[in-house]
Amino acid sequence: MRNLFIALTLITALSACVQKDNTKLTSVEEIKTTEINEYGNTLQVFTSAHNSEFKLTPTGTIEFSNFKQPLETEASILVDPSKKFQTFVGIGASLTDAAAETFYKLTKENQAKFLEAYYSIDKGIGYSLSRTNIHSCDFGSGSYTYIKEGDAELNTFNIDHDREFRLPFIKSAIAAAGGELKMYVSPWSPPAFMKTNNNMLNGGKLKPEFAASWAKYYAKFIKAYEKEGIPIWGLTIQNEPMATQVWESCIYTAEEERDFLKNHLGPTLEKEGLGDKKIIVWDHNRDLIFQRASTILNDEEASKYVWGVGFHWYEDWKDGIPMFDNVARVHEAYPDKNLIFTEGCTESYDLSRIVNEDPKLAERYGKSMINDFNNGTVAWTDWNILLDETGGPNHVKNLCFAPVHGDSKTGELTFTNSYYYIGHFSKFIRPGAKRVTSVSSSNKLLTTAFVNEDETMVIVAMNQSNEAIPYTVTIGSKTATLDMPAHAIQTMLLK
């Protein structure tokens, strides 16, 4: 342990009570300055718990005592900050047409509250990452492209469709984030005439004769958005390339995605002066992630264009079990490539699950984020940042949950427990942080930990059981004893 004589800075956090139909964020609570003489001597604890008043609430400080050997009958967490791993990029969500349309149905007061709640570090949960769609996906009022049908030369390309809602929405988010927000983009389907089924919906494949034109389409979109003052950090090649959906979708085998990347998309971006954009492959579920990654990354000509491998969480439709180990296998095999979670939400919107605070909704986030980070993931992106009171708008009625819902009739906001659970990570773990070892002795208690660039250590623990859990946190020669309510999550800060 190294001696430091520093003061624990004023820490602010949301302290809010969930109301069933209109959650309100209360005023920011200041935490008194605490003087500590040894790194890691005092834990500042924040708690969210289902069916309680705890919503990212400061719940006290815990002093470390001398090391206590944990027993097999006890729940314990061991943290070793000397073992450092991947560098954290950020956490955020997708700024879709559906989110933008819903945002502009909120009251002006709630628009400001929404932006502060997501993007302010002090008063909100500090999102630093975002994703948006290249022309339409299912989450929006309709299907559209940026060109006239049949225009393979892209002479009619324009993004005028996005000027009503999505462009101003994204610009507001960037401003709320302090003027900087990492943005990556994803297509759901090429225009209909470029596809084998002549339809943007229901799968189909990219016709080979339009591969060059489709690659140029990405470049035109990126340049158009950047001209609007929206910097684009990266892109995925295709959203869910193995899924034939009733909405916008397009199928690529691993070999087809590899060849499109190395023969068309990669060279086109370089030719257009966009070679610095981070290209993400796969962008689908964890089940087949290794097969897709190995096919593309074992090819040197394709691999040289790849920044990372993206993945979703929907593989649990098979048996209810997420396949976290597959993410770890990719990290082991290709440690020079990055892993990024690109989409996740709970489908089949049902308001009663929010009203009754179904713990499965928020705990799906906590469980995924902890396991994905522990398996090498550097960035994590939720799906829609905002949806309306029906779980839409969605032009094919694929209605889903979001962490925040806005009522299109009243203009009011509802913050679900998922919002607070995500905040236990995004508010405290900042870009540039390094993950460190954090190990739990109990299956009921999940954990991950990071050290920020300012040397603040962030430990997250989640209790996914029906009972409150007493547990210990040990760092080096010091042990702290804590309690966590049932179905709860806690973040611990050490300066």
Cα–Cα distance measured from residue 435 to residue 445, given in angstroms and rounded to the nearest whole number: 18
Block residue for tokens 């061991």: 78
Q: What CA–CA distance (Å, rounded) separates 89 from 378? A: 6
Report the alpha-carbon distance of residue 486 to residue 305 in Å, rounded.
46
- Active-site residue, selected from the candidate residues 240, 257, 363, 389: 240
Which single residue is written with the structure tokens 């990212």? 56
Q: Which ranges of 277-341 would DSSP assign to H, the alpha helix?
A: 289-297, 300-303, 324-333
DSSP state of 288: T
In angstroms, rounded to a whole number, what is the distance separating the alpha carbons of residues 16 and 5?
33
* Catalytic residue of the set 257, 315, 343, 363: 343
Catalytic status, residue 343: yes
Q: Contact at 8 Å (CB) between 130 and 92?
A: yes
Distance CA 396, CA 403 (A): 21
SS3 string, 83-139, reads: EEEEECCEEEEECCHHHHHHHCCCCHHHHHHHHHHHHCCCCCCCCCEEEEEECCCCC
List residues bridging with 308 in a β-sheet.
280, 338
Which residues are known catalytic residues?
A: 240, 343
